[in-house]
Structure formats: structure tokens, C-alpha cells
Structure 1
Amino acid sequence: HCSSAVQALEQRWRNRQSDMSNAGKFRDSAPLLPAAGRTDAGSADSTAMCFTEQERPPTPDHIRRFRKSYTGAPGMRVKHWGAERDAAPRPQDFVFGVRGEKDAGVEHLLGGHLEPTTMQAYQMMRAEMCYESSKVEVLGKTLNRKYDWPDNVKGDPNFRFGVPGAGDTEPAIEVVFPPDAPSLQTTAEQVAMYKRSHGAYEPGEQRKRNYTWEKIGEGIDPGTHSFGGSSAIDYKQGVAKALNPDLEYDSRVKPTQLVPKTVDDFHKVRADDLGKVRNLGLGDHKLPADHIYGMSTQKFNDWGAKECLSGNYSIDEQMPDPDLGRSLRRGCAPDHVLTSDRIFGVPCVRSDIPPPKRSSVADSKNYGNEPGVKALIYPQTFAQRGVYEEDFLEGHTREALCDICVSSGMVEGQAHFDALFERARAMYGASEDDMLSVDAIRRALYQETMAE
């Protein structure tokens, strides 16, 4: 059995060696043991495959509706991703409106307005007889209200109701809004004031600054006068000539000018050359090109901006402190600190000390008499008026409670309060001497309202 097992392992090893791409190139020092891992023989990975650009994998269908590239694609209807998979309210070929009939042309539509025949007029009359308005308001006639008019009104075709007005009477709109009312009139002072305050100039109106042109010169009319001077010479290419003065010449080049040597030497000494140190006439010092005059501002090994940001500590400074893990207080063992109930530090809410009688503006301490975070984020309903929930639950005598309820308008009067007080006392099982709260009266009032 052992020999057959060894032969099976050898055959398995030969089959694996034939499948591997490196078969025959390396010597296996342990041929009887199976190879670990897996072979990449027959894999499609190659250099050509690595240099071949593959298509980008598509976005899965269950993730595509969440991407902005999908909702903003050309031709896509913008829809919220939550309603993407909802059923369409109407089919794809749904069209709003009513399809027009093919035979209903302009001639057919205009034909209905022509003079109807005798049969068509009779049919239209029979169709309109079912309406009361067709009997009372006959087409082409005034509404007959069955009035019994006098004989002079019936016999005179030119009769008109009312009294004709005279030519000098005022219309009703002028009576309601008189055009010459003092409140509607605008004076010149008011117009000038609105021009100064609001800039209310009329359209096309010239802004006047009220200059006294007589003091400046004669013949100056601000409506017709043009300020400035006109150029007698048509000067062209002004900006180009300002940037390049050589364009002033016909040859486009500045002519050569011969100057004395003393003037040229003066320019060499006094003129500034671009990129060079100015010649101060001190001679050649024979200093290197990288020589720097003056004294360095960093006398010692001081820190700069780089060291302040990144740090430049030595090895000794980077080592941990010698008192790391030790107590800096003498006689205070760590075991005693861990097992003791003592609390170190100062609490944020100083409820351990009495608050001052008069609080200073500069005192930022909280003595425990201020509202918490919950009260600031979710303030109570009547907190702005200085009334809190505990005030509704505070007990009061019958006289004080009656004064509160009547003054606040909760009850209509003394009799109404007595009825609510007896109802609240029965609800809570209180005696005559027990004190009730405002909340108890409110609950009794609620029960009374629900019972009605």
C-alpha cells in the first residue's frame, strides 16, 4: 500500500509539472510533496493584454439610478431616484389634448356660422326651448321684466330715464379725486428736493448742479456748450507711439545721435543697468560673484517659519520625559489615587459654591441656576414670558388660584372658577384645605369642554 501511494504522488507531480509553464526549468528538491498555491498556466495575462485598453465596466443596474451621470445624461427625463422604478402614470405613447378630426377643416368649421336653413333653424329652436334663459332673454331683444310702464313712457320712443346733465357739471371721478386738490399738487421746491434726495430726474432731463456760469466766463450755456478742446492735427496711433517712440519717425528707427565721450561716461556711471549692481565709483574690490554685503539677521541658530511648522528637535529633546508615568506630587501614590473617591479639577457648573447676590457682566461662571442645553435647543412654550412648566405644577391656595385664572382669562368668572375647582378637587381627591395647581384647573376645563 505504501508503494502504491508513493506512485500516485509521483504521477500527480508529473501531471502538474506538465501543466505548469515553467516545467523543466527548475529542479524540485521535494518531488514527493504536492505543490502549494495555484499555477497561472494558460492565463490570458500578457504584456499585450496589459497594454490593450479595455472598456470601462458598466455601472450595475441597482446603483445606476443613484449616479449623477445617469440622471444628467442627454435625452433623459430628470426623475428622482426614489421614483425611478415606480410604474409610469401613463403609457409611453400618451399625448395630451384631443386628436383633431381629419374632415374637420376650416371650411367645415366656418360652415356652421352661415345662414341656417328653415329646418336647421327649427331644430335649433326646439333644442333651445328647454332652457329658461332662451324664453326670458330672447336673442336680439332686451330682457322683459314684465314692468307696467306709464302711457307716456310706452308712447314716446325717445323717452330716456334720468335728467340730462349740464355742460358745467363735474364728473364723478373729479369729485372723488379733484385734480386741483392741494394734497395732489407738487411745488417746485418739492421737485428739487426729490432730485437731491432720490435722484428723481425726468426722462431725458439734463442733470443740473446749479453752477454760476457767469462767474466762470461769458457765453457759456450748459445746454449747448461743449467742454474740452478740439485737436487740429489728426494724431493717429497714439498708444502705439507711446509704447514705442521710434514710430514717430518715418524710418521707424530713431536716428543715430553723436554725443561727446564725457556724456557717455556720465551715463555709464550714473545710469542704472538692468540686472547689475549700480556703479558707485569705488573701483573694483575683486570680490567673488556670490559675495553678500551686510550682516545676517540670524545671529544664532534661531527657529524660522519652517521649524515652527515642522519642528527641528534634537534626539535628546525627542526622548520621553524622565517623569513620564510618575506622579509629580510627593506622597501621592497611584494606587491611592485610583481607589480614592476624590475628584480632581474644578467643575464647570459651580454648584459647590453659593452664587453672588449681584451677578457681574464679566462673570462667566455657571452656578447651577441657568437653563441647560435641552432648554436652549427646545425652549418651553411660555419661556419667553418667564413662565415654565414647573410653575403650572406649583400648588396655590384657592384665592391665589382664582386670581391667576381670572386675570389670565382662563375662566369667565367666579362662578365658573368655583365649578372648575370642585371638578378638579374631585379628580385629584383633594380636601378643602389642600392646594391645587394651574394644571389641575386646565385639566378640569378640558374635561368640561369635552363633555359639552
Structure 2
Amino acid sequence: MATDISDMPPAGKLIPRGHGTKECMQTLTELPRTADSVKKFRHQTYPEPGEKRLCYAFVKDPDRSSNTMGVTSKASLQAGALVNPPVQSAFQKRLQDLKDSLYFSKRRAPLGSSHDQSHGLPLGLDPLDKRFGIVNKKDISAGELVSPSEALSPAEEELAATLYKRSHGDYEVGEVIDRNYDWSRFTRDSLYGVPTPHDNSGSGVRTALKWCKNQGNVTMKKLDDFRERNRPQIGKVHDPIEETLYVHINRDHTFGVTVIPDDYSAGDLVQMSGPSAFLECPSWHPGLLVTIRQHLKKNTFSKFGELLDGLNQKGSNGKADPSDVKEILYQFQVPLDQDMAELLIAWSSDPEGGGVVCSDLVGLMNWMEPVSVDISNRVSERMKEPVGLEPSKVVLSDAY
């Protein structure tokens, strides 16, 4: 069946037509109006031609005549009155002079006259008649000096050349400079020094340029010493500070502290030997005290002032009972085991009885200050006969 083509819609998309050239060329009769809520703000920034600038807060105010911002300027003198002031009468001028006479500058330098300097000059010196300086005598002109009209005589030329040499040092080539020495003892042609041998063949120059038979690199001694000191060399120990170190000490000097071995070794620790075989201390040993103080320092215990106050409060007359001392050490959480606490109590105990001396105990524990000589002597005397402690069974625990 044949289909009528005229009834079929055209292919493609239908785009609506907008304004054509004719509508674009026409002038709009009415522009879009600005809203009143926006106009009051624009009126302050962009006022209409011929209108006053008005703050947007006063736009709807009916009494606009009183809405004036700023300060009213007072009327002042006009420029014409300042340039051409009115002529004063004789009375007005005299009255103005009397008013100006009060000023010091008016009396010292009146208008139309020079400054009076007579008060600062010596007595009898007239500034109008007195003249200072030397009167210049008129001589030939500058043109005559540059281009003299007459030729100079030989004597005048020699005098002028001598003066020019003296002022400008302009000597001729090879001319001997005369420094006005006293030639009464020596002649002017005297020669000084030792004659230098001369060879026209130039052998002396060749010797000076080739003075080294063995051709080698020439270096500074300071640079060579630096390289020898800082670069390792084969077969030698590299010691950069050897020169500065062995100036004050001998080469066989050994640094450090010699550690004297005891009868016990690391095998005793591995085999977990008994406390009695761990370390023997027949008398008071400073090494134990150093170990205790280092352990307190490692654990950052520093409440020695509070510890001394607690011990004094617990005891009386600066002494405390050993059981009370152990209780105070436990309350302050002193990082010491029982054996080390017993050792410190034994060192600080009074041999005549009465308990533990609190100041001596804290002085031995205070690692922030050195042990005083008095405490050290007292502890040494006490440890000759240990009280309440068997020195053969002093144990250093794993905490140390």
C-alpha cells in the first residue's frame, strides 16, 4: 500500500525561533526598574545625576533636610583678601607695631633691616667698616696664563719647569730625581750594593727557571702535613691527634680505671651460685656506696629533703629506730632492696646506741651531692665493727 509522503512529519528537531534582527534593533521604550530594597543602597554609592548622596538609613525618612552628616565648615577669609589686604591707617599700623614689639625676633631682626650681630662681636669692632682677609692683587687674566702672548725666556722656562716638577713630579725619562740629599760625604755618582754577574747568553735566566733537577710537584708543607695526618697510611695506625695528644703525656699511657678481678666470674652468675658466694665484703667498701648511689640516680629518685624530714619526724634528736627507717623508705618508695637498705642502716647507725643517724643516712643516699668528709670518716669508723649485719653475706641483686 502506498504511503502519502505529504502526511509524514519532517525529520529533525524543531528549534523555536527567538528574537530576530528586527526585534534586536528596536529600542526598548521602558527600562527594567531597580527594586526599592536595592535602590536605597545604590543611592548612597551611585546617586542619580543632580541628587545629593543620601545614607541608606535615611532613605525613608520624610525629614531629609536635617539629615546632614559631617561638620559644617565655618566661613573663612577669602583668597582675595589675603592677597590684597585692606590698607591700614596710621593708627592701625602703629597699634600693630606695638603688638609685634613683644616678640624677641621683632626686636632682634626688624622687618626690612639686617640682623643685628653687634652683641656677639668684640668691643670696638664695627661690622660695617671692619674687613677680614687679604686683598687680592689683580694680576694677569686666566687666558694670559693658559696662552701667554709673549714667549718666555730660557731662564723663565727653566724656573717654570722646576716648579712644575716639584708640584706634579713630572720628570723626564731617565732623569735622576733630586731629593736634596747632603752630598758632602758621598758623591752624587756613588753606587751601592754588590755587582750582579751578567751573561748575555741568558744562562742565568735558564738556571733560575730550571733550578730543580728532579722534576716534581711543589706543594706547601702545611698541606703536606695535613694530608699525612688525616689520610690513613699503609702499615701505620691512623691517629689524627697524635701530635697534640702526646705533647703532654707519654706514648705508653693507658686511659681508664684498672678493674681488679675478684675470685668470682660470670660462671657463678650463670650457675646461680648462692648469696654467700656472690660477693664478700669484709669491711666498708666505697664501691658498694657508688653502686647504690648510681642505682638511685638511674631510677631518678631525688626526694632527699622530704625523706630527711620524714625521718626526723619519725625519730627524735636526729635519730630514728631501724624499723621506722625501713617503714619510711617503703613509704617514699626508695628503689632499694632489703640487703642494700640493711647495709645503709648499718653504716648510719650510731655505735653507742640510739638508732640510725638520719642526716648520715640521707647524706650517703643523696647522689646529687658528694659525700662529706665527716660522714665518710664516721662511716669508716662504724664499719670496723659492723652492727647487726654479717659483711660476708652482702648481696648485689639483679637490680644493680
Do they fold alike, i.e. is TM over 0.5?
Answer: no
Higher relative contact order (CA 8 A, sep 6+): 2
What is the TM-score with the length of structure 1 in the denominator?
A: 0.17
Which has the higher Rg, Structure 1 or Structure 2? 2
What is the TM-score with the length of structure 2 in the denominator?
A: 0.18
